[in-house]
Structure 1
């Protein structure tokens, strides 16, 4: 497993601020997630304030952390949440073996979105390896088919972007679907999409999932300014040109919809067994039937049933932003659950600013207090 560290503020036996990577590389040239978590996050502030050690781990099968060379189904059996958490446990134990620097260090485990839901699960499986936790914007109640996600996306788009932007995008998708039904591929050419068979229903479904994901990503990760800027761009040009830009960037090569599905096999294997049922059979074969996936989803959900009765879970912060499409999954409430009014997906993880929402300020004040308590507990020992 690959990981990155920041030792600038570290004092021996200071708190380990451990951010668990999710479904992506820690060195993405586009998202630059690791740079944010190690330099522009709230845990970076805490590490600086309290002499902490920052670490960002990479999830197995993403980036350079490949357990096998192949991404076939036989190899992907090693891509599971319990195995990913076991990797984190091994790394924490490895650090703690260095008693000179980490022998008395407390561990503050943090995750966002997908990796956020691993935090309370990790606390259940490895209570002796975590002293404090924070699961930001994570889905905590699992369903076999989460149809409500995109309904929430478009409701938020309407609320933030306005009626004109919402209707332009909705009508744009409807027009594209109508054109494909008539075998009119003009808009596909305009979006520079190739490798696509519009005569096969499953291929059309896959394409629309990818295109709507562009809008989902905009709403999920974009703030109000970003969403309004995208709406303005769509209004001045067209939905097709906006989608083309998001799919291809500045590249002049066509967007190969078939190859893109193959390149996302690791993401689909990690997440589709919970959500995108209709695509699993096509991507992974007949083993991934509705019954098989439904059983796996229920098995996952059962892991969270008794968390509130565990001492380790009581020391895990859970947050759910109001303007987050994943809020359809509902956060599991306890004394350290925060519903962040006016906040977007994982916004609470970012560095503090004078414009932080009151709900985020309250959360960060509470987290700071608990980190101080960790420092005090270490000093008493």
Structure 2
């Protein structure tokens, strides 16, 4: 997900690697991989101006929490802020998702404010196979079988049990929070371990696993139309249609030149074409996913988009180049993506996102396709782009039928959006693309108008909309109620 579920960061330089006696050549940076990386980054948080003493601890966990015969262990990184803690006060856990954890998440923001009110300890857990918490390497398909949400939830429970062996924590109640995929975890951990987790705050939690997540780009389009303006939506729509028509009309070379695609892009390869159109959509999705209405983010980006040229197609091409850091050319070949992920199996120190890609294949899907007509990104990147990647990177066993079976098993285990669970507070942004697979009004979720993904993590502010402020106040009261139980 994550948090599946954007300013675009440039790919860090990839490190050269040696494996199995043969020098592995570093793949060239790939714009498609880059765009996916931005979509799964940790949610942006307000900058803390307060000093905080954040301790790093390493917890010994089982490699396989469900196999008593497997005694292998590993070290998981956890950040702890006890600045306001008094013995026996609650433990407030922020669950890490598909990203590397860092201190600011437990030094400022709404969750920190609530913890401070109750003299609580703030704990930030790092999900296995992300950040610096690798249970086993390399990231072969065989080893990645230990990457699952069930294993990750059991990890958190083990950390809690270990903490509660300490006198200062033995009487502490435990409440968790999460954003995006980690909000999914916050929901499911409350369902699976209600005797350990008193309550959960789940901000923008995807709950229904789905292979073809075509609804995602619909909401991205809605965000640009409602907040950026109809002209902005139409610009994107017109430009995408123009390039799509060039490829379909036998003028792929012209499209390749105008989009500044690298020489290795094959205009006759449907998979390469899927990659470029998906990359373009992802660039805009990244902006919509973490926009803040109060900052006028999308209107500003739409103005920049228009400023590049009066010609829609040229404006879009230059905007994408700008967002991707002005590369010499855009590398978006399907083979390049597959080779990069295969390289990342050995070179796991790079922030490849490979473990998350594996989870989408084995548990969640959530492949953001162009299969809906109600979005401005054309019709040239089906979910097959991603299911093919599963097959070609991990194993021939990842056929569409088997991936669909994996997704069905996840929904059977956790009941999708109709999950039966108490003491969970769901919040959703009204323009969050991920809300289409999350809890809605019928399930008791609070919908914050015009907001996007994980929009309510910051402290209460005078800049908050009335609905956003009301939601934050409601959470604070719910926590008081839960702790009084």
Aligned CA distance change for structure 1 residues 191 and 44 (closer, same or farther; 3 Å):
farther
Corresponding position of 2:10: none
CA distance 1:90–1:366, change in 2 (3 Å): same
Contact 2:441 2:447 in 1 (8 A): no
Q: 3-state DSSP class of the match of 1:133?
A: strand
CA distance in 2 between partners of 1:309 and 1:149 (Å): 21
TM-score calculated relative to the size of structure 2: 0.69
Write the distance in 2 (CA, Å) between the matches of 1:70 and 1:362.
Answer: 47
- 3-state SS of paired residue (1:320): strand
After superposition, the Cα gap between the structure-2 partners of 1:192 and 1:244, relative to the gap in structure 1 and judged at 3 Å, is farther
CA contact 1:9–1:51 (8 Å) conserved in 2: yes
Other-structure match for 1:184: 253
Unpaired segments ≥5 residues, structure 2 = 1-75, 309-314, 342-351, 368-382
Query: Which one has the bigger helix percentage?
Result: 1
Correspondence for 2:89 = 14
Cα distance in structure 2, aligned partners of 1:151 and 1:309: 25
Structure 1 residue aligned with 2:215, among 125, 128, 148? 148
Deviation at 1:141, TM superposition (A): 2.4
Residues 117 and 178 of structure 1: CA distance in aligned 2, closer, same or farther (over 3 Å): same
Structure 1 residues 309 and 155, CA, compared in 2 at 3 Å: closer, same or farther? closer
SS of 2:267's equivalent?
A: coil
Classify 1:369/1:254 alpha carbon distance in 2 versus 1 (closer, same or farther; 3 Å). same
Aligned pairs, number: 365
Paired residues of 2:106 and 2:112 also in contact (CA < 8 A): yes
Report deviation, 1:150: 0.7
| 1:38 corresponds to 2:106 | yes
1:76 to 1:245, Cα distance in 2 relative to 1, 3 A: farther
Query: RMSD over aligned Cα, in angstroms?
Result: 2.6
Deviation for aligned residue 1:154: 0.7
Partner Cα separation in structure 1 for residue 193 and residue 90 of structure 2: 18
Within 1, Cα distance between the matches of 2:89 and 2:173? 7
Task: Quote how far apart the aligned CAs of 1:232 are.
Answer: 1.1
1:135 and 2:242 are equivalent in the alignment: no
Give CA deviations for 1:49-89 in whole Å, capped at 9, x if unaligned: 22111122222222212223223322221211111112211
> 1:1-381 alignment to 2 at 5 Å?
1-27=76-102, 35=104, 37-99=105-167, 101-181=168-248, 182-184=251-253, 191=260, 196-224=265-293, 225-237=296-308, 238-247=315-324, 249=325, 256-257=331-332, 258-259=336-337, 262=341, 263-272=352-361, 273-276=364-367, 277-278=383-384, 279-282=386-389, 283-305=393-415, 313-331=421-439, 337-376=445-484
| SS of residue in 2 equivalent to 1:348 | coil
Higher deviation after alignment, 176-185 or 57-66: 176-185
Aligned partners of 1:308 and 1:314 also within 8 Å: no
Moved more, 156-165 or 63-72: 63-72
Q: Gaps spanning 5+ residues in structure 1: where? A: 28-33
Q: Distance in 1 between matches of 2:97 and 2:387?
A: 20
**Deviates most, 7-16 or 263-272:** 263-272
Residue 221 of structure 1 deviates from its aligned partner by 0.8
Classify 1:185/1:305 alpha carbon distance in 2 versus 1 (closer, same or farther; 3 Å): same
